Amino acid sequence: MTDTAHSNPPPDAAARRAAKPLICYQLDQLPPSNLALYQQARQGMRKLTEITVAPREGGSFEVPAGSFFRIVSVEGAQVGDLNLWHAHDLTERFFSGKTRQLHATHVSTGDRLWSSLPGLRPMATITHDTLDWYGWDEDGAGVHDVIGTRCDPYTNYMLNGVDYHHCCHSNLTRALAVAADIPLTEAELHVHDVMNVFMCTGFTLDTHQYFMKASPVRPGDYIEFFAEIDLLGALSTCPGGDCGSSHSDDSTPCYPLQVEIYQPGAGALQGWSSPPRSGYSGTHGT
């Protein structure tokens, strides 16, 4: 609500406003987390492979269930837009809205990335985050948001009247088309709201508008995930760079991001199994 109010407050406005906030989903209601097991397993893990995503581009990677992956800052401060799919079923994909409701507007160690309905299961658990010291700053901003959608050429065209082809939406679309060997038009429909890795964002305190500010990420920082199911991932190095000035153009310095895949030591995950899809009957009352 960025416009001023047009309606007069009712006589009991203060009483209505005084209703107590209630956390919609309590963390202790969620299925138990295996974070302690994963943090033990990460001690003996070894790197299997790595890919580098060039600036203002997209790249894809696969992570088998039971493995770890890291997104690593290299060369300079850079934000990454992350999409995740079930490696064998593109219709099950990261559900940023529900992840936000279950955890918070920004995610870090211990939070899980949940999949879309009707799957609704953890796709990945965050096992380490070198930026978890940041917390919430004086502007109310935090790092790694699940609020923003992704920069896209349609909004850019609406606002600026020009075609720009390296928005995160397009970078992710091209990366998925190659990874899944499907046409661009089909791949685009599978691209979804992202996790904004390393991005520092919040809502303004007065108008609650979405804002960004320069990311605190520096080369060497990383965020690490445990793959709960077989994953296909795509990462875009946002043309906004550190997202401290502009986006959707080539005016900002941009840097690569690295994705590293790790395998835990033998026997480290004893007793662990990949989570099943939601147990809901799916009949919707019929």
Q: Which is nearer to Zn ion, 151 or 179 (CB)?
A: 151
What Å distances lie between residue 197 and 5, 28, 146, 232, CA to CA?
Answer: 35, 26, 9, 17
Nearest to 38 by CA among 278, 286, 285, 269: 269
Tell me the residue ranges of DSSP E strands in 45-194.
Answer: 46-53, 58-63, 68-73, 80-86, 89-93, 112-114, 122-129, 142-145
**Span near Zn ion by CB under 5 A; candidates 109-117, 129-137, 162-170, 249-257:** 162-170
CB of 128 to Zn ion, least distance (A): 24
DSSP 136-177: --TTS-EEEESS-----HHHHHHHH-S--S-SHHHHHHHHHH
**Span near Zn ion by CB under 5 A; candidates 46-54, 196-204, 233-241, 249-257:** 233-241
CB of 240 to Zn ion, least distance (A): 5
147 lies in the binding site for Zn ion (CB under 5 A): no
82 lies in the binding site for Zn ion (CB under 5 A): no
At residue 267, the 3 state secondary structure works out as coil
For Zn ion, the binding residue among 168, 229, 232, 269 (CB under 5 A) is 168
200 lies in the binding site for Zn ion (CB under 5 A): no
Q: Which is nearer to Zn ion, 83 or 116 (CB)?
A: 83
Nearest to 238 by CA among 264, 201, 186, 284: 201
191 lies in the binding site for Zn ion (CB under 5 A): no
CB of 61 to Zn ion, least distance (A): 18
**Span near Zn ion by CB under 5 A; candidates 18-26, 97-105, 161-169, 276-284:** 161-169
237 token code pair: 């190095």
| Site size toward Zn ion, by CB under 5 A | 3
257 lies in the binding site for Zn ion (CB under 5 A): no
198 φ/ψ angles, rounded to the nearest 5 degrees: 70, -5
For Zn ion, the binding residue among 199, 212, 238, 254 (CB under 5 A) is 238
119 token code pair: 């799957």
Q: Which residues bind Zn ion (CB under 5 A)?
A: 151, 168, 238
